[in-house]
Amino acid sequence: MTTFRAWVALGAAAALAHPLPSDPPAALDAYAELARADLWPGFEAASVPLALYDGSRTWLVRHPQPPPEFERYAESDVFFVEGRHAAIRANAPVQIHGVWVAGATVGGGATPRDDASLVLHEAFHVFQRRRHPSWQGDEGVLLTYPFDDADVLAARRLETESLRRALAETDAAKVERWTIAALEWRERRFARLSPAEQAYERRTELNEGLARYVEHASLDPRHRPNLPEAGFEVTDLRGRAYETGHAFGVLLDRFVPGWKQRLEGQDPLSLDRMLADALADSATEPGEFPYLQAAVERRARANVDALVRERAATREAFVADERWRVVIELGNPMFAEGFDPMNLTVLGGGEILHTRWLKLTAGHSFVEAEGHPALTEPLGAHPLQDGVKRVTVGGFEERPEARFEAGAVLVAAPGFSARLQGAQMTFEGQVLRVLARRR
């Protein structure tokens, strides 16, 4: 296989003003190979712009107008910049210079092909953003979802187990039997959920589940999702949707020929409904497991009790941390411009502890914490959508730098920055307290 470096060396190297850096990541060559497959109607993986961080450089591929900080790699359509570009925060689609690109960190996979399949997952998200923006679930639903309802949790796990059995069977009648059981458990569970909560699961299955389906299909035509026998953790609804969406895709391959083309022409469809419609006239009885059901229900009640205790302990540990912290009392509400839904704990009473990343903004004011725990307290009924009235950021080993500038308080520390217009500040022991006046 011709690598990027070998390709440009065929005539471009002589034109360089200085030596090339090390090769672009091997995942690029592996991606080019995987992208040749026909994975989804209309998805041209080989044309999607990419931004890959390999641990030392960020590589930009097929971008029509790279930002000035990027340098061309010989005479190819590959550009690079030293270090991790600010746009690459996680494996996700990002905008660079007004263009959506598939952003990913590579080098962590077992092989370059594994890395490439992950990049393909993000490239499919770029395709989805253009063709199916309605597929994205409202992540704010996770902040109010009834994770403390043991009956919902038990039904969710019984649905997962039914899907797992359906995919493990080779006998067609048994596959159908357990597929119908999974759909029935979903119907019972959804009867206890709000329309917004139902929509979140279905849209996340379309968005993340189908990206996971494409990712694994690129590596193995006999791909299967990862559905753990014990079910998913109590609050791992988003991670579960990756696998259940993938599972529904595999089952649709069996029961609904042409389902991908149907989705491309009719956005309001959901994966489970398409499957339910296909099996609506089936005379097959759903699979049953009465002994397992009782055990699952007992474990769900125990897990929910443990969740309540864990939330209380998490809050107590945050409050007890004696390292430096910043407490910001907001005169006007600030709103979440960004947060990581996979790394937060809903504490109850509207409080949320963000453990990886949070950014709040209001006018010219902002607060951003990355790698520091940040506790938000809501202004209204919803933890974030109605605004935040107070945020406490902890875990600072040293005193944060704070100063007044142009009528604002500016605070800076590794992994933290804030600008609070029209605010006052005081130091009280290990606490920097910032009070923003109402405007």
Structure tokens at 408: 């604002």
Q: Distance between CA atoms of 355 and 348, rounded to whole angstroms?
A: 16
Tokens 């759903």 belong to residue: 286
| pTM score, whole prediction | 0.85
Local confidence band at 13 (pLDDT 50, 70, 90 cut-offs): very low
Please tell me the predicted confidence (pLDDT) of residue 160: 98
Q: Distance between CA atoms of 174 and 167, rounded to whole angstroms?
A: 10
CA triplet 133, 134, 138: central angle to 5 degrees? 105
For 88-113, how does the pLDDT look when each residue is reduced to its tens digit (9 = 90+)? 988 999 999 999 999 999 999 889 99
Beta-bridged to residue 417, according to DSSP, are 368, 412
Q: Distance between CA atoms of 229 and 158, rounded to whole angstroms?
A: 10
Is residue 60 within 8 A of residue 73, CB to CB? The reply is no
Amino acid at position 134, single letter: S
For 306-361, how does the pLDDT look when each residue is reduced to its tens digit (9 = 90+)? 999 999 999 999 999 999 999 999 878 999 999 988 789 999 889 999 999 999 99
Averaged pLDDT score across all residues of the chain = 92
- 379-403 CB burial, b ≥16 within 10 A, e <16: beeebbeebbbebbbbbbeeebebe
For 25-50, how does the pLDDT look when each residue is reduced to its tens digit (9 = 90+)? 999 999 999 999 999 999 999 999 99
Residues 6+ apart with CB under 8 A from 364: 408, 419, 421
Please tell me the predicted confidence (pLDDT) of residue 16: 41
Task: Tell me the average pLDDT across 429-439.
Answer: 87
For 53-93, how does the pLDDT look when each residue is reduced to its tens digit (9 = 90+)? 999 999 999 999 999 999 999 888 899 999 999 999 889 99
Q: Distance between CA atoms of 228 and 207, rounded to whole angstroms?
A: 21
Neighbours of 183 (CB within 10 A): 22
Q: Is residue 287 over pLDDT 90? A: yes
Q: Distance between CA atoms of 213 and 248, rounded to whole angstroms?
A: 9
Q: How many residues does the chain have?
A: 439
Is residue 50 within 8 A of residue 101, CB to CB? The reply is yes
Task: Tell me the average pLDDT across 267-286.
Answer: 94
Is residue 20 within 8 A of residue 13, CB to CB? The reply is yes
